Amino acid sequence: MSDNVEALYQEIILDHYKHPRGAGLLDNAAGESFQVNPTCGDEVTVGVRLDENDHLHVGYEGQGCSISQASASVMTELLEDATLDRVADAERAFHELMHSKGAGEPNEDALGDGIAFAGVSKYPARIKCALLPWVALQDARLKAGIEIDQSTTPDA
Amino acid sequence: MVSTVLDVSRLRKDFPILERTVRGDRPLVYLDSAATSQKPFAVLDAERAYYETSNAAVHRGAHQLAEEATDAYESARAAIAGFVGAHAEDIVFTKNATESLNLAAYAFSNATAKAAQGGVVDPRLVLTPESSVVVTEMEHHANLIPWQELCAKTGAQLRWIGLTEDGRLDMDQLSVIDETTAVVSIVHQSNILGTINPVRSIMDRARDVGALGVVDACQSIPHMRVNVDDLGADLVTWSGHKMLGPTGIGLLWGRSEVLDRLPPFLTGGSMIESVTMEGSTFAPPPQRFEAGVPMVAQAVGLEAAVRYLESVGIESIEQHEHELTAYALTTLSHMPGVRIIGPESSVDRGSAISFVVDGLHPHDVGQVLDDRGVAVRVGHHCAWPTCRRYGVPATTRLSTYLYNDTDDIDAAAAGIRAAQEFFGVA
Ligand SMILES: Cc1ncc(COP(=O)(O)O)c(C=O)c1O
């Protein structure tokens, strides 16, 4: 396997793919979003709600390739019970990483295991896979009326 | 193993792209010809020569270049007609097969709309909510969505012939074609399953009930001898880029009596007979369907492609690919964890082979193959309902052409094993 593909399929990614964390939908989501990647049929549904302390709770369900499913698992683990500031930082950092064409310096504070996706940004066809759960998260959040600081909202 | 009918290593020298490496220093193993074929020097040279010597707008202008360009364009039409046993005037140039199929579907909706305004149209083209349109469950989206849209516009009912477990049409469902049916549009060879369908008997049934018949021959004409008249259809569509030709050119053949009755699809310059401010009359086919300055260089390139295919021998290509398909099917079916989606025997089957690997998503299989220089297609192959029918979200598909040999199949098989090992599902 080439270095690029080894970098794409980091141990962390394969581990989340085989042992997904936090899989399953919330029964009391305030907003839910179903997203598909029409080129390959990857699917993910993400649901969110805020608790009384304004912490986010995330649930998901999906099927698809290792990158899309590991991304959903990493995102859910990262953002479960997170403050909205943390959500905003993570959303922005993940989008930036995906658009970095492999040259980005991933922000570990914001992304946790999400830094493992740095190698994905070299493969344009896989960026969509990695972003799929994040797009669903953003949409579910908006449907639930959960606003994050717009100045930090990623534009893509 | 060496091909018994083609000297593949010599043919490969005609395709410059096959010399390149990918993903670093990996030689390219191109197994995605069902998506688009590679182009031989003969095609590239012909296009270049046309631009260097004769480039002009066809069917317009009185100068020598315009004459030469028009000759080149019409000569291409004649050559392509000859390749499929047709008359040149029954061949229409379009952008691609997708446009050809839309041209067919819009003939019905345009005629239906015109009839509602009291216009005189061929009654076979007029749909009502009592009409039906028949396709199959293995259509490429290009031969499904135009008909869905036609039904949405006219209230007609969309029906389809379902599939059997082993990837064939369920011929017991042919009764969906009945007296209500206005048009039957089916794929000759499936781009996802590889199945070659018994189009003649389906077209005969269409004719018996007074329906028009359309055949999507995108995956058959590049790979086997097809005489369009023998298919029993009224319209046949295909693309140039899948048969060694350039992108940007597609084909529509029509039975002259039918083509003559179709209203235009795209309108504008070059397709008219007479124009006043109040209205216009249209040129006879094929010009009626070729609005605007057409794709002359692509037509010239496509003629070169057809001549190249004839020089190699389309029958030899068919036999070569048949042997290669049998080899690939045997190879894949002996691999643990690999399941073929589509017919497992090479009988009535083309070289597009879809498969799934237990525990692995096609995207990941394709990624590992790509890393080894093996280009395959992953996804639903623009046949999403077919994937649903077989309960898979997507497949990996390999597909061959005259420039592939058993080494390429072996490279794909080795890549699949490497993916199984890497992901720990071996
Ligand atoms: C069976 C079939 N029909 C239609 C098409 C559409 O061809 P094009 O994309 O060239 O218009 C394709 C090609 O992808 C095909 O394989």
Q: Are B286 and B262 in contact (CB under 8 A)?
A: no
**How many residues comprise chain A?**
156
Which of A9, A40, A63 has the CB atom closest to B378's CB atom? A40
Residue A51: both structure tokens together = 């608790």
Protein residue whose Cα sits closest to atom 14 of ligand 1: B35
pLDDT of residue A149: 79
Q: Is B96 in the pocket of ligand 1 (CB under 6 A)?
A: yes
Which of B362, B371, B378 has the CB atom closest to A5's CB atom? B371
Residue in chain B closest to A39 (alpha carbons) equals B379
CA-to-CA distance for B374 and B203, rounded, in angstroms?
A: 38
| Residue ranges, CATH 3.40.640.10, chain B | 47-309
Contact criterion met (CB < 8 Å) for B24 and A2: yes
Cut 0.90: pTM above it: yes
Q: Are B408 and B41 in contact (CB under 8 A)?
A: no
Residue B387: both structure tokens together = 């994937």
Residue B208 has pLDDT above 50, yes or no: yes
Residue B3 has pLDDT above 90, yes or no: no
pLDDT-derived band at B409 (thresholds 50, 70, 90) equals: very high
B8-30+313-422 CATH fold: Aspartate Aminotransferase, domain 1 (3.90.1150)
Q: Which residues of B161-185 are buried (b: 16+ CB within 10 A; e: fewer)?
A: bebeeebbbeeebbebbeebbbbbb
Residue B350 has pLDDT above 50, yes or no: yes
Q: Are A45 and A33 in contact (CB under 8 A)?
A: yes
pLDDT of residue B77: 98
Protein residue whose Cα sits closest to atom 16 of ligand 1: B191
Residue A31 host element (H or E): strand A31-37
Contact criterion met (CB < 8 Å) for A5 and B368: yes
Residue A144 has pLDDT above 90, yes or no: yes
Q: Are A130 and A114 in contact (CB under 8 A)?
A: no
Contact criterion met (CB < 8 Å) for B364 and A2: no
User: Nearest 10 degrees: CA dihedral of B307, B309, B315, B319?
Assistant: 170
Q: Is B251 in the pocket of ligand 1 (CB under 6 A)?
A: no
Residue B390: both structure tokens together = 């077989």
pLDDT tens string B119-143: 999 999 999 999 999 999 999 999 9
pLDDT tens string B47-103: 999 999 999 999 877 899 999 999 999 999 999 999 999 999 999 999 999 999 999
pLDDT-derived band at A13 (thresholds 50, 70, 90) equals: very high
Q: What angle do CA B107, B380, B240 make, to 5 degrees?
A: 50
pLDDT-derived band at B387 (thresholds 50, 70, 90) equals: very high
pLDDT of residue B2: 62
pLDDT of residue B294: 95
Residue in chain A closest to B370 (alpha carbons) equals A5
- As a whole number, the mean pLDDT across chain B is 97
pLDDT of residue A155: 46
pLDDT-derived band at B245 (thresholds 50, 70, 90) equals: very high
State the average pLDDT over residues A99-111: 85
pLDDT-derived band at B271 (thresholds 50, 70, 90) equals: very high
Indicate the pairing of strand A42-50 with strand B250-254: unpaired
- What is the DSSP code string of B360-401? B-HHHHHHHHHHTTEE-EEE-TT-HHHHHHTT-S-EEEEB--
Contact criterion met (CB < 8 Å) for A2 and B394: no
Whole-number Å distance, alpha carbon B182 to ligand 1 midpoint, is 23
pLDDT-derived band at B359 (thresholds 50, 70, 90) equals: very high
State the average pLDDT over residues A84-107: 90
By three-state DSSP, how is residue B118 classified? coil
State the average pLDDT over residues A106-119: 91
Phi first, then psi: what are they for B42, rounded to 5°?
A: -55, -40
Whole-number Å distance, alpha carbon B239 to ligand 1 midpoint, is 7
Residue A20: both structure tokens together = 């997904």
Q: What angle do CA A79, A82, A86 make, to 5 degrees?
A: 85
- What is the DSSP code string of A53-91? TSEEEEEEEEE--HHHHHHHHHHHHHHTTEEHHHHHHHH
Residue A103 has pLDDT above 90, yes or no: no
Q: Which domains does chain A have, with CATH numbers?
A: 3-143 (3.90.1010.10)
Specify whether B382 is catalytic: yes
pLDDT-derived band at B180 (thresholds 50, 70, 90) equals: very high
pLDDT of residue B1: 58
The number of C-beta contacts closer than 8 angstroms across A and B is 53
Among candidate residues A28, A29, A23, A21, the one with its CA nearest the CA of residue A44? A23
Architecture category of domain B47-309 in CATH? 3-Layer(aba) Sandwich (3.40)
Q: Is B143 in the pocket of ligand 1 (CB under 6 A)?
A: yes
Residue B411 has pLDDT above 80, yes or no: yes
The answer for residues whose C-beta is within 8 angstroms of residue B360's C-beta and 6 or more apart is B419, B420, B423, B425
pLDDT of residue B65: 94
- As a whole number, the mean pLDDT across chain A is 91
Of the listed ranges A99-108, A117-126, B378-387, the one predicted with least confidence: A99-108
State the average pLDDT over residues B343-351: 97
Whole-number Å distance, alpha carbon B144 to ligand 1 midpoint, is 11
State the average pLDDT over residues A96-112: 87
Among candidate residues B333, B327, B323, the one with its CA nearest the CA of residue B409? B327
Report whether the peptide linkage leading into residue B286 is cis, meaning its omega lies within 30 degrees of zero. Answer: yes
Whole-number Å distance, alpha carbon A47 to ligand 1 midpoint, is 37
Which of B23, B364, B379 has the CB atom closest to A66's CB atom? B364
Give Cα B417 distance to the centre of its chain: 31
| Residue ranges, CATH 3.90.1150.10, chain B | 8-30+313-422
